[in-house]
Structure 1
């Protein structure tokens, strides 16, 4: 088993910068987090850590924010135990429950049960909430759907619960692919799940594309999404901070996408666009 490094980041002011720091750390290989009263604990496989990448993070260079850190090697972390300690169920508009098997049933109209392979505490509860909130008002009946950067495939699973037809889920991470397959079985839905990136999309077209990723990947991949999106199709994006919106919309405008709805929760934003 690969040893991990545990980083103890002290952040002042804490909000909203702890969530934003977690999003930036994900981009350089950190994969699990625990929120503390004065910062975060962040974990990365030892062989993936590059100190130059860490020093180049935008937030760490920001003189208006105080961020300091120490780190130590942490062999053989029990990720399931860490995850169970830090994951609370998500309740979206009293319509959708996202929970683990060890949580009580909240008796909502929709329920999604997940058991991630790695810690869920990545600061993206708000973006998951926003994506599901947008999806509540979207028509998925018999639509072809792509969940890009699927993670646990919670979005693909919800699309199927809302009547989607063929639904494809893709993630670059092997853990996510394996976990998505398990979660699909757990929720009694059929998904086409594979490992890859937007480069693997080929010529297949979709009515709806879901992408809860991050700013840099979205800016790079939106043209590819548009190329496989049917006319009149919808592109739903999140993983974005409020200060990312202008850059994202600039790319979307270049691709002749129309903004239909913007939702914000805390510092996070979701954008629904139409081709």
Structure 2
């Protein structure tokens, strides 16, 4: 029998979308859709726990205005629904991101296969597209890359396809760690080391390129730490925030002597590229 799902719609400051998705994943939510006013989250009705959901919402009420409503969805085969609606994406005419059940297209220089455990981190979000476009502009040949909050591992996978040869990727969530390992293997990547944890757990090393597609609040906290992992002349690329947050991100980067060299926006989302002198 196809699973019956509960849809929970949370209205909140989108700066908190990522952390709320991580919290909801811990109590069984399997997939998410982001919007400018919050999240729609989906969970099998057999796993739905109203008390656990309310506890999460109460924890964040002092940080952001947040409301939610839940409803049972009509019975569907959600795997079939996902496959029917998940279409390959194309980036800059050179990259094609697809699921394993899509046929490869030899017209594209870089073919990336992503089978996500959740419905984000597939390359469909504007921030992922923005970062991948910028990656195409960087020399990755025999370079080292650190992918912070790697999700499905898509950015690290592209980096290896661009000829980086020492790559570290990590995510705090177990599902993301396991998914990145699976996706790296599907893409024939052999130079990516993936671990579950945070930047504090990252082995002491320096990198030519650091990628961080996370969110505004974490970036403002951690940009100084990312800078410590950069070689002199290295590149820090950050995304996961709206264009009206650019000034705050630039100010934090300039406090640690990073120099802004490129920026781009797409549907109000932004990517910034910095260099370390």
TM bin, normalised by shorter chain, reads 0.7 to 0.9
Q: Are 1:145 and 2:137 an aligned pair? A: no
Native 8 Å contact 1:150 1:169 kept in 2: yes
What CA distance in whole angstroms lies between the structure 2 residues aligned with 1:237 and 1:274? 12
**Match for residue 28 of structure 2?**
none
8 Å CA contact 1:79–1:117 kept in 2: the answer is no
1:155 matched residue in structure 2: 155
Instruction: Tell me what 1:97 maps to.
Output: 96
Kept in 2, the 8 Å contact 1:87–1:121? The answer is: no
- Correspondence for 1:50: 56
Instruction: State TM-score, norm by structure 1.
Output: 0.81
User: Are 1:215 and 2:207 an aligned pair?
Assistant: no
Could you list the runs of 5+ residues in structure 1 that have no partner in the other structure?
12-16, 62-67
Taking the aligned partners of 1:123 and 1:27, their CA distance within structure 2 comes to 19
Deviation at 1:237, TM superposition (A): 0.6
Correspondence 1:227 to 2:219: no
Counterpart residue number, 1:25: 17
Q: Secondary structure at the match of 1:147?
A: strand
SS of the residue 1:240 aligns to: strand
Q: Show CA shifts across 1:10-40 (max 9, x none).
A: x8xxxxx9xx74x63332224532479x996
Q: TM-score, normalised by structure 2?
A: 0.81
Q: Deviations over 1:110-146 (max 9, x none)?
A: 1100101122279961011000000011000001110
C-alpha displacement at 1:247, in angstroms? 1.2
Separation in 2, partners of 1:131, 1:137? 10
Contact 1:91–1:98, Cα closer than 8 Å, also in 2? yes
Unaligned runs of 5+ in 2: 26-30
Q: Distance in 1 between matches of 2:85 and 2:34?
A: 8
Using the alignment, how far apart are the partners of 2:187 and 2:89 within structure 1?
Answer: 16
1:118–1:184 distance in 2 versus 1, CA, 3 Å: same
Greater Cα shift, 25-34 or 154-163: 25-34
Equivalent position of 1:200 in the other structure: 201
Pairwise CA RMSD of aligned residues?
A: 3.1
Does residue 171 of structure 1 match 2:171? yes
CA distance in 1, matches of 2:79, 2:189: 24
Aligned residue for 1:164, secondary structure, equals coil
Q: Conserved in 2, the CA contact under 8 Å of 1:79 and 1:119? A: no
Q: Distance between the aligned counterparts of 2:218 and 2:180, measured in 1?
A: 21
Per the alignment, residue 40 of structure 2 pairs with 41
CA distance in 1, matches of 2:256, 2:209: 16
User: What is the DSSP-based 3-state SS (H/G/I as helix, E as strand, rest coil) of the residue aligned with 1:27?
Assistant: helix
- Cα gap change, 1:95 to 1:123, in 2 (>3 Å): closer
Instruction: Report how many aligned residue pairs link the two structures.
Output: 255
Q: Distance in 1 between matches of 2:275 and 2:160?
A: 20
Q: Which residue of 2 aligns with 1:247?
A: 248
